[in-house]
């Protein structure tokens, strides 16, 4: 057993949201007890004690939409770079070139470097949407093996698309199908799977039907109306809007993650709500790609469950929560909105979304919940109360303040030192592979 104590417990539930001098007792991958530090140490004498030194003890954070494969593009230098004037050109000139050039070794290092940085930002569970059309078969197993080795909870899928031809589309369908079988057989609660789809504009009817048939009872992870061109393509080719088309093929539902949903209208919001489809917001990526501002508050008003991801833009989901509120206030020219909602999405919705996939209780500091716990070096300048948690998270907390992370009852970082991978060697290898990758483009 391990006891983490001498800190302020910052729970994700209204009851006991802030507990001073609190402690958590962990054993067998689960939280066994929560209470006052002295009392808990007396109850479980002689066990290892991790001193939070007055910092925050929080549930690990969840990133519900990421792209591991984008890691090696950081600071990329290529010959004769093309200027991209819209989102489709960004895809064609950058991301689709990169994912075709990736090897399985690139895939592994991209995942490991991303997971390492995520751990450092307090993220303990990642839902990834993968693409490596130069190395499809075995890519999800490669990522999964690294995730298990590093001790990170990972839900994986491969991005099915017609953009590389029918053979590649069939191979990516098969890659999803085989990994779903592996994830279903995994009993430790550390791996999960979804069926990945790119977006409507790169998927013909035949491929959508084949994907639905292959997915069985699995949910889908799909980009929806991220750019206006996705909607225009759908209207022109299929005579319908994106959400309506996906519903026709049975893609929507309570297990499906619809990512972005920027260019959706009132009828589509009603469809998303009626089908209990989860929508994932990625504000920094949306701003960077200049695709528009999500109707986040309208989606929320329809009762749609909303989660937060980073879309490969950053590994710190706390940044996404901050950006989500800022973007809404700026776009609506209303400083009174979106203060609390992003932190509800981050602290409550994200863990529930992921917890359903992994079949475990995430995001809780309570007996029986998964022992995914972080310690944050945060000594508040002003009183910290249940009523003002969002204010402290927005103005005071950021990823690098996390110094210790536990996942499934195992320490993966202590005092800012990663314990499950040789970080120095990993980064050196990553720089080498990035140089090789850039030379191909």
Tokens of 222: 């799909």
Contact 101, 78 (CB under 8 A): no
Return the pLDDT at 12.
Answer: 86
8-state DSSP, 386: G
Return the pLDDT at 411.
Answer: 98
Q: Is the dihedral of CA 169, 192, 66, 325 positive or negative?
A: positive
Contact 379, 53 (CB under 8 A): no
Return the pLDDT at 78.
Answer: 75
Q: How far apart are CA 286 and CA 282, in angstroms?
A: 6
Q: Which of 147, 89, 358 is nearest to 350 (CA)?
A: 358
**pLDDT tens digits along 99-117:** 999 999 999 999 999 999 9
Return the pLDDT at 13.
Answer: 81
Q: Work out the number of other CB atoms within 10 angstroms of the CB of residue 335.
A: 9
Domain limits, the chain: 2-60+364-415, 61-358
**pLDDT tens digits along 264-318:** 999 999 999 999 999 999 999 999 999 999 999 999 999 999 999 999 999 999 9
Strand-pairing partners, residue 153, are: 125
Q: For 61-358, which CATH class?
A: alpha beta
Give DSSP secondary structure letters for 222-271. Answer: EEES-SHHHHHHHHHHHSS-HHHHHHHTT--STT-EEEE--S--HHHHHH
Query: Does the reported pTM lie above 0.75?
Result: yes
Task: Give 2-60+364-415's CATH code, choosing from 2.160.20.60, 2.30.40.10, 3.30.70.100, 2.130.10.10.
Answer: 2.30.40.10
Q: Which of 309, 385, 286, 344 is nearest to 123 (CA)?
A: 309
Please identify every stretch of the chain with a pLDDT value under 70, giving residue numbers as ranges: none
Q: How far apart are CA 378 and CA 256, in angstroms?
A: 36
């Amino acid at each position: 057993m391990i006891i983490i104590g001498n800190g302020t417990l910052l729970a994700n539930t209204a009851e006991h949201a802030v507990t001073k001098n609190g402690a958590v007792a962990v054993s067998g991958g689960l939280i066994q007890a929560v209470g006052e530090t002295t009392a808990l140490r007396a109850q479980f004498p002689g066990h290892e004690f991790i001193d939070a030194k007055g910092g925050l003890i929080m549930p690990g954070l969840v990133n519900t939409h990421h792209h591991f494969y984008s890691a090696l593009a950081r600071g990329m230098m290529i010959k004769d770079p093309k200027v991209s004037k819209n989102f489709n050109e960004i895809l064609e000139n950058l991301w689709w070139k990169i994912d075709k050039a990736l090897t399985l070794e690139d895939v592994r290092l991209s995942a490991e470097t991303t997971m390492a940085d995520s751990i450092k930002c307090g993220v303990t569970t990642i839902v990834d949407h993968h693409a490596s059309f130069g190395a499809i078969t075995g890519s999800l197993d490669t990522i999964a093996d690294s995730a298990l080795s590093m001790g990170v909870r990972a839900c994986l899928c491969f991005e099915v698309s017609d953009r590389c031809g029918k053979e590649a589309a069939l191979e990516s369908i098969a890659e999803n199908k085989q990994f779903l079988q592996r994830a279903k057989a995994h009993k430790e609660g550390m791996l999960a799977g979804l069926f990945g789809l790119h977006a409507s504009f790169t998927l013909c009817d035949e491929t959508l039907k084949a994907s639905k048939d292959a997915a069985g009872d699995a949910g889908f992870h799909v980009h929806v109306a991220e750019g206006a061109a996705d909607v225009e393509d759908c209207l022109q080719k299929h005579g319908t809007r994106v959400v309506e088309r996906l519903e026709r093929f049975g893609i929507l539902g309570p297990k499906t993650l619809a990512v972005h949903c920027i260019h959706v209208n009132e009828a589509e919001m009603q469809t998303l709500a009626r089908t209990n489809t989860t929508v994932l917001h990625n504000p920094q990526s949306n701003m960077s790609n200049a695709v528009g501002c999500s109707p986040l508050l309208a989606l929320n008003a329809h009762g749609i469950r909303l989660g937060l991801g980073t879309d490969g833009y950053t590994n710190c989901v706390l940044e996404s929560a901050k950006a989500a509120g800022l973007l809404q206030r700026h776009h609506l020219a209303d400083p009174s909105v979106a203060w609390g909602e992003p932190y509800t999405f981050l602290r409550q919705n994200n863990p529930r979304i992921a917890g359903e996939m992994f079949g475990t209780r995430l995001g809780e500091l309570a007996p029986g919940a998964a022992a995914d716990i972080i310690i944050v070096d945060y000594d508040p300048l002003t009183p910290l109360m249940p009523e003002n948690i969002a204010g402290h998270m927005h103005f005071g907390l950021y990823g690098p303040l996390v110094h210790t992370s536990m996942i499934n009852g195992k320490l993966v970082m202590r005092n800012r030192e990663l314990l499950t991978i040789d970080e120095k060697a990993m980064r050196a290898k990553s720089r080498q592979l990035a140089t090789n990758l850039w030379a191909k483009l």
